[in-house]
Amino acid sequence: MADYPTLQAFAEDIYTCNRTRCGFCTVECPVFHVKRLETYASRGRMLAARGLLEGVIEPSAELQAVMDDCLMCGYCQARCALNNLDIFASVRQELRAAGFSSPKHEKTAIKILEQGTLFDRPAPFHREGTTPLYLGCAYQTKPHEVRTIVSVLEKVGIDPLVTDEVCCSYIVGAVGFADEFEQAQDRFRQVYGPHLDGEILTVCPTCTATLHGEYHLAAKHALIVVAERLADMRIKPLDMQVTYHDPCHLGRMLGVIEEPRQILRALGIKVVEMEHHGVFSTCCGGGGGLLDVDRNMAIEVSKNRIRDAVAVGAKTIVTACPTCQPTLLRGAGRLANELGYFVDVLDLWELLDKALD
């Protein structure tokens, strides 16, 4: 029996899945949907995990590549009550301990640990105000989008305070760098220390889920606050029909499903639902660092999500995530020739800013 201490802690979950094989997690997994090979779906990964525990398979670069081909989107976990995502992170952790990890992920972790940010970005955005607003790395690279968000918040009567911030480091933990994730959390607490005891508004779904679930902070997605205040606002209705793509962290993991739809309806927009939405929405392709390690797979997943929209006659997708929007736009671009038209992907904040007086 091989010794994998962190994985061993999940042995009962792994054996429970192995003896069951219900397959609820399989066909609709966005990666399996492309690969059509069990190893890429949750129940196949669970058998691979058991193979490691029993010494039937050994750590290898091939296993690491398969494990990296996961969006960590949580679709499988929503269909199951086992700790699927923790198990996958644990397998990655064990693989890394055995010397197998993606150089891209190593580079990302080093960058976050050394520089406190996931992406190179322009001068950090700061704003004096009263309500802490944590932007996160992705939005920090998008000054136009940040100005739009701040504009909307100001219109609904919020005075956002944006100060120095470092990366929430979600990706470091998700891809199996457990020790580094703890270091990153310590630094986050040092930098963001003055605001840790009160409510923090957030705009990135992934940062929100991480600050809430891993740091146990009172992080609240700003769209919830906007939805609460919308009834008192003057709105110029937008005559549109769209479908809404639930970002995995916002919808499935934080349960913020109704609020974005409530906002869209308040803006006069008709919402057509895709087959997979809400808790069972499927990923845009940008989750779990997949874009870094298997860009082709990420794009195929993204194209499939565009196809979901096309299947219900939608030519415009609205979302509320700095990763989902560009990823879906990439998929829409790749699919435009096949479809004969371009499916547009808009950010909900942009529509809010247009419609609010």
Partner 1 sequence: MTDSEKLDAALAELQAFLGERATATPMHRMAYSRDWSPRFRDMTDLPDIVAVPHNTDEVVEIVHVALKYELPVIPFAGGTGMGGGVVAWKGGIMIETKGMNKVLEIDPDNMSVTVQAGITIWELNEHLAPHGLWLPHQPESKRACTVGASIGVDNDSTFGVRYGKILDCLTNIVVVTGRGEAVRMGHRKASFSSTGYNLMHLFVAAEGTLGVVTEATLRVVTLPKTRQVRGWVFPTLIAGARALERTLASGLSVESAHLNCRQRLHFYTHAYREKYHREPEIPDWAESILFLSFAGDEDVVDFGLRKARQILEGEYKGELVREQEMVEGYWDSKHRLDFIAFKQKWPDSQREKKFGSADVGVPMGRLEEMYHAFLEISAKYEQQILGMTVYNESPNKVSPSISFAIFVDDSTEDKVRNFFGYVREMSLKAVELEGTMSTYIGDGDRLGGFNIHEHGLSYEYMKDVKALFDPKNILNPGKKFESRWIEP
In the bound state with partner 1, the residue whose beta carbon lies nearer, of 47 and 238, is 47
In the bound state with partner 1, the residue whose beta carbon lies nearer, of 88 and 349, is 88
In the bound state with partner 1, the residue whose beta carbon lies nearer, of 43 and 245, is 43
Of 26-34, 149-157, 224-232, 298-306, the window that binds partner 1 (rule: CB under 8 A) is 26-34
Give ∠ CA 190-194-113 in degrees, rounded to 5.
25
Token digits of residue 95: 């693989």
| Interface pick for partner 1 out of 8, 51, 111, 220 (rule CB under 8 A) | 51
| Interface pick for partner 1 out of 29, 31, 43, 158 (rule CB under 8 A) | 43
Q: Which of 89, 295, 266, 264 is nearest to 172 (CA)?
A: 89
Does residue 294 contact residue 265 with C-beta atoms inside 8 Å? Answer: no
Q: Does 27 bind partner 1 (CB under 8 A)?
A: yes
Q: Does 199 bind partner 1 (CB under 8 A)?
A: no
CB-based contacts of 36: which residues, under 8 Å, 6+ apart? none
Residue by residue, DSSP assigns 159-226 as -EEB-------HHHHHTT-HHHHHHHHHHHHHHTGGGTTS-EEE--HHHHHHHHHTS---EEEHHHHH
C-alpha R_g of the chain: 20
In the bound state with partner 1, the residue whose beta carbon lies nearer, of 110 and 311, is 311
Token digits of residue 152: 């909307």
Within 301-320, the residues that bind partner 1 by CB under 8 A are 311
In the bound state with partner 1, the residue whose beta carbon lies nearer, of 9 and 56, is 56
Q: Does 60 bind partner 1 (CB under 8 A)?
A: yes
| Interface pick for partner 1 out of 18, 163, 262, 316 (rule CB under 8 A) | 18
Of 39-47, 126-134, 332-340, 349-357, the window that binds partner 1 (rule: CB under 8 A) is 39-47
Q: Does 58 bind partner 1 (CB under 8 A)?
A: yes
In the bound state with partner 1, the residue whose beta carbon lies nearer, of 21 and 236, is 21
Q: Does 62 bind partner 1 (CB under 8 A)?
A: yes
Q: Does 20 bind partner 1 (CB under 8 A)?
A: yes
| Interface pick for partner 1 out of 2, 6, 8, 24 (rule CB under 8 A) | 24
Give 16: exposed, middle or buried? Use CB within 10 Å, 0-12, 13-18, 19+. Answer: middle
Which single residue is written with the structure tokens 């091939």? Answer: 62
Give ∠ CA 228-232-233 in degrees, rounded to 5.
100
Q: Does 39 bind partner 1 (CB under 8 A)?
A: yes
In the bound state with partner 1, the residue whose beta carbon lies nearer, of 11 and 233, is 11
Of 30-38, 121-129, 194-202, 293-301, the window that binds partner 1 (rule: CB under 8 A) is 30-38
In the bound state with partner 1, the residue whose beta carbon lies nearer, of 17 and 219, is 17
**Cα(171)–Cα(187) distance, rounded to whole angstroms?**
15
**Cα(223)–Cα(203) distance, rounded to whole angstroms?**
8
Please, what's the b/e burial string for 275-296 (b: 16 or more CB within 10 A of its CB; e: otherwise)?
A: ebbbbebbbbbbbbbbbbbbee
| Interface pick for partner 1 out of 2, 6, 8, 16 (rule CB under 8 A) | 16
| Interface pick for partner 1 out of 275, 295, 336, 341 (rule CB under 8 A) | 275
Which single residue is written with the structure tokens 């606050």? Answer: 225
Does residue 206 contact residue 134 with C-beta atoms inside 8 Å? Answer: no
Provide the 3-class DSSP secondary structure of residue 110.
helix
In the bound state with partner 1, the residue whose beta carbon lies nearer, of 44 and 331, is 44
Q: Does 23 bind partner 1 (CB under 8 A)?
A: yes
Within 77-96, the residues that bind partner 1 by CB under 8 A are 78-82
**Cα(318)–Cα(246) distance, rounded to whole angstroms?**
9
User: In the complex, which residues of this chain contact partner 1 (CB under 8 A)?
Assistant: 12, 15-16, 18-24, 26-28, 36-39, 43-45, 47-48, 50-51, 54, 56-58, 60, 62-63, 66, 78-82, 275, 311
